[in-house]
Amino acid sequence: MEISTLATYHCLAFVWYFFIAYSITHIKTEERPSEVFLYGGQWKYLTVLNLVLQTVFYGVSFLADVLRLIKKLRCAKCVISSRDLLFSALAFPVSTFVCISFWILYSYNRELVYPKSLDGVIPLWLNHAMHTAVLPFALLEILALPHRYPAKKKGLILLGFVSFLYISWILWIYSVTGEWVYPLFALFSPLGLAAFFAGSLAIIISFYNFGEFLNRMIWGQSKFS
């Protein structure tokens, strides 16, 4: 794909995610179901944090494209390295996890992850923008250009560290409020919850490996932008 085309795509994707993140974080207070938006606000939900992550990623990608267009290759190389690390270790696996885990749990029992009370607050299109469109965007990014994956140890350490931070945030909120971020967690014993978190980490690591596999299958080992 031509650099100018990539720049246009990344700019549009950045604007889209910025708009979605802005929309979900600026729901009027009086419209929020009190049982959903407690301590931590929207910032306790992985879906919302993922929107911010995607906004940052596409902003960095657009910056890399612009630097390449204006021939600032030394700066572009550094930004491209950051872009590829963000995508490989975080943007792709987190988006895939958000989409697949949400819709599996939603299909089983939506009250465990997305209470019906939210239907009157969050329109259907916004729900799909947050939970469905993120996966096609991630797949399109792999198809659009090759990404240099880091050493497996480095990528997994970053993914594991961010996962640990989010789990710690969930547990902190529970310790303060006595309420779980997702009603699903209330179904588990402490041991069961630990097993659930470990299983979720294993799944998101498998998505990291899947992204690396797709990137290698489509672009091979040697072609990188």
Tell me: the pLDDT tens digits for 112-153? Answer: 999 888 888 889 999 999 999 999 999 999 999 999 999 999
Span 37-78, pLDDT tens digits: 567 778 899 999 999 999 999 999 999 999 988 887 788 889
Q: Is residue 30 part of a domain?
A: no
Residue 224 lies in a domain: no
Residue 32, domain member (yes or no): no
Whether 35 is covered by a domain: the verdict is no
Number of domains composing the chain: 1
Range of the domain at 157: 5-24+41-219
3-state secondary structure the chain: CCHHHHHHHHHHHHHHHHHHHHHHHCCCHHHCCCCCCCCCHHHHCHHHHHHHHHHHHHHHHHHHHHHHHCCCHHHHHHHHHHHHHHHHHHHHHHHHHHHHHHHHHHHHHHHHCCCHHHHHCCCHHHHHHHHCCHHHHHHHHHHHCCCCCCCHHHHHHHHHHHHHHHHHHHHHHHHHHCCCCCHHHHHCCHHHHHHHHHHHHHHHHHHHHHHHHHHHHHHCCCCCC
pLDDT at 2: 83
Residue 177 lies in a domain: yes
31 is a domain residue = no
Instruction: Please report whether residue 159 resides in a domain.
Output: yes
Instruction: Say what the pTM is.
Output: 0.91
pLDDT tens track for 65-122: 999 888 877 888 899 999 999 999 999 999 999 999 999 999 999 999 998 888 888 8
Q: Is residue 34 part of a domain?
A: no
